[in-house]
Amino acid sequence: MSKTVILGAGVDSLSGIAMPLTSELIPQISDFVQTEIGKRIDEKLRLLLPRLRFSFESFVKRSIDKLADEFRREIDTITTNIEHELETNHSLSNPDRKMGELVNRLLRKIKYIQEGAEFDEETEDLIQEVLGRRIEDEAIIDIKKLSFTDTFKSILQYVLEQSVRNSTNPILRHVYKNLLDIEDLMVKYFIGFYTRKDSDIKTYVYISWMLWAFLKEKEKQVFNDETNHLPFYSQLQDDWNIITFNYTSFARQKVANSKYFHGSLFDYINMYNRTMMSFEENDYYNTDTFELFERIATPNIDFTESSKKIVVPAILPPLRIKPVLSSRFISTWYESAQQIIHSDKIIIAGYSFSNTDEHFNDILRGCRDKNIYIIDPNIDLLINNLHSIWSYRRDDFSLTSIQNKETLKAGSLSLIKASADEIILGNL
């Protein structure tokens, strides 16, 4: 019986691995640049990328200033999420609970002004009676043109700065969530390869190599701490098909022929001839990160017009329409699709079913009648993303149990409410 296991970012964020999620990367890379190895790679990249203007530190500072001005757009989402955290997370420390109460109190003040700046229904009816016509604009004051006082803005800036620097804090993670997204940043500058804008290309090269170096160092730390037993990954078996959306080498360490759907830290690409190459295994695992980077980057990055050449990590930008960086990606996608199509059982862990991965979701769409197990601690949120794939409504699911974990089941689809490392994969 053929089994395929599909891995998303939630697997690499498990305790014992603790790789950062996408929304946590920018502030952590900004801190990484200040470390000894981060500084060396930053300095080398700036030598290779003359007149590069981008820096993570200045980007974070500009973002905080901008967010303080535009904070009102996120009020409803942030207050709802923080209120839920305050109500359901009984392990919150007193300082965290106070911070949550402060943030929500501040946001309610802003919301009160917003709501008070519009005509209510009774006033609108009275205006129609007096003027003989309905009003087209409900606003009394254009909120967008109002600005916060310096005092209030300084409080917001403090909250934002704390949220950026404490990306795993149970309260503050709701404040900046999705506001500092490295995927958006990569997409913005990757377009430079199509517009042939050198300044954007240089920024993309810088961001992608700093991301590679940061993740490579984090991965090395995990291997040092968890030499013999990686959570979840230690369960993977050689005769299973493994497809991962993570860039780390954890999957290939356990199952050598794992498919890396969006690329990996192990590979790099020449952007002019689209050749994808791999690090030697011994070099990748045993060579200092800076030395490994320098060995590839120094001879292969040159913006001199007569001898231009660019090499970047084989990390696929999260565009909805995926660029074909190398023919090896086409082979990987085809082989992954064939593995899924011919599998009797599909296990999906830590994968969000985002619409930016519609190319992959479409492969799953044809598997409605297969035995599919989705493992995720937040199945109540995930279920909304599944409707467009398998057309199951929330009411179609029945409550049952698998391995003593709450499970929602519809047809041959099972949604198991658990962390990936809480389930014995071999028993599914």
Structure tokens at 255: 């199952």
Highest mean pLDDT among 129-138, 140-149, 243-252: 243-252
Instruction: At 354, give phi and psi (nearest 5°).
Output: -65, 150
Altogether, the residues listed in the chain come to a count of 428
- Minimum mean pLDDT among 7-21, 47-61, 127-141: which range? 127-141
Of residues 350 and 87, more confidently modeled: 350
pLDDT for position 135: 58
pLDDT for position 126: 63
State pLDDT tens for residues 23-68: 778 888 988 999 999 999 999 999 999 999 998 888 877 776 666 5
* Buried b / exposed e along 38-62 (16+ C-beta atoms within 10 A): bebbbebbeebbeebebebeebbee
Mean local confidence (pLDDT), 6-33: 88
Q: Could you tell me the pLDDT band of residue 218, with boundaries at 50, 70 and 90?
A: very high
R_g of the chain, CA atoms, integer Å: 24
Q: Could you tell me the pLDDT band of residue 246, with boundaries at 50, 70 and 90?
A: very high
Q: Could you tell me the pLDDT band of residue 357, with boundaries at 50, 70 and 90?
A: confident
CB neighbourhood size of 90 (10 A): 6
- What share of the chain has pLDDT > 70, as a percent? 79
In one-letter notation, the amino acid at residue 371 is N
Of residues 246 and 83, more confidently modeled: 246
Residue 246 CA neighbour count, 13 Å, CB half: 29
State pLDDT tens for residues 160-195: 666 666 656 666 666 655 556 777 888 889 888 889
pLDDT for position 171: 67
Mean local confidence (pLDDT), 402-427: 94
Q: What is the rounded end-to-end Cα distance, in angstroms, of the chain?
A: 12
Mean of per-residue pLDDT scores for the chain: 84
Is residue 373 pLDDT above 80, yes or no?
A: yes
Mean local confidence (pLDDT), 242-258: 94
Of residues 223 and 113, more confidently modeled: 223
SS (H, E, C) the chain: CCEEEEECHHHHCCCCCCCCCHHHHHHHHHHHCCCHHHHHHHHHHHHHCCCCCCCHHHHHHHHHHHHHHHHHHHHHHHHHHHHHHHHHCCCCCHHHHHHHHHHHHHHHHHHHHHHHCECCHHHHHHHHHHHCCCCCCCECCCHHHCCCCHHHHHHHHHHHHHHHHCCCCCCCHHHHCCCCCHHHHHHHHHCHHHHCCHHHHHHHHHHHHHHHHHHHHHHHHHHHHCCCCCCCHHHCCCCCEEEECCCCCHHHHHCCCCEECCEEEEEEEECCCCEEEECCHHHHHHCCHHHHHHHHHHHHCECCHHHCECEEEEECCCCCCCCCCCHHHHHHHHHHHHHHHCCCEEEEECCCCCHHHHHHHHHHHCCCCCEEEEEECCHHHHHHHHHHHHCCCHHHCEEEEECCEEEEEECCEEEEECCHHHCCHHHC
Mean local confidence (pLDDT), 65-91: 74
State pLDDT tens for residues 279-297: 999 999 999 999 999 999 9
Instruction: At 52, give phi and psi (nearest 5°).
Output: -70, 130
**Rounded Cα distance, 62 and 352, in Å:** 29
Strands 3-7 vs 241-244: parallel, antiparallel or unpaired: parallel
Is residue 108 pLDDT above 50, yes or no?
A: yes
Q: Domain residues of the chain, as ranges?
A: 58-180
pLDDT for position 141: 47
pLDDT for position 47: 94
Q: Could you tell me the pLDDT band of residue 140, with boundaries at 50, 70 and 90?
A: very low
Of residues 254 and 65, more confidently modeled: 254
Q: Could you tell me which residues are beta bridge partners of residue 267?
A: 278
pLDDT for position 150: 63
CB neighbourhood size of 115 (10 A): 9
Maximum C-alpha span of the chain: 83
